[in-house]
């Protein structure tokens, strides 16, 4: 079984920065895709950013140029650096992993979520 644990959320003023971390533990053979989703009150969960095993990244339009997804394979950790934060970035952020536990078995895994609030 694989566990994803997020950290780094909090309250920040508009224009500020936060860095989210997602540490994966358990039986991990390889990461396929890792990503960050967010869900604001009354809205559907949306993909914010993703990174493939090859290092390719993808961002939703509203965060391009402000957010950066990266990973540290040695630490089994994925990061989301968020700069120039806006009130509309306020949401619960979830880490997602498409992870192979063995060469034959893969699964979809989610973290518990971390709150990000952008407010003055």
The tens digit of pLDDT for each residue in 42-66 reads 999 999 999 998 999 999 999 999 9
Edge to edge, the sheet with strand 18-26 lists 2-7, 18-26, 77-82, 67-72
Token representation of residue 56:
């390719």
- H/E stretch holding 104 reads none
Mean pLDDT (the chain) is 95
pLDDT tens digits for range 66-76: 999 999 988 89
What's the pLDDT at 94? 98
What's the pLDDT at 79? 98
What's the pLDDT at 101? 92
What's the pLDDT at 36? 98
- H/E stretch holding 119 reads none
Say yes or no to pLDDT of 1 above 90.
no
Task: Report CA 80 to chain centroid distance, whole Å.
Answer: 6
């Amino acid at each position: 079984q694989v566990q994803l644990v997020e950290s780094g959320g909090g309250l920040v003023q508009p224009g500020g920065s936060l860095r989210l971390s997602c540490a994966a533990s358990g039986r991990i053979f390889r990461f396929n895709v890792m990503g960050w989703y967010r869900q604001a009150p009354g809205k559907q969960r949306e993909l914010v950013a993703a990174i493939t095993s090859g290092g390719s990244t993808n961002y939703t339009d509203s965060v391009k140029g402000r957010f950066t997804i990266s990973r540290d394979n040695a630490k089994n950790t994925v990061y989301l650096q968020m700069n120039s934060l806006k009130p509309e970035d306020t949401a619960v952020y979830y880490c997602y992993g498409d992870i192979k536990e063995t060469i034959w078995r893969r699964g979809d895994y989610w973290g518990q979520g971390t709150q990000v609030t952008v407010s003055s």
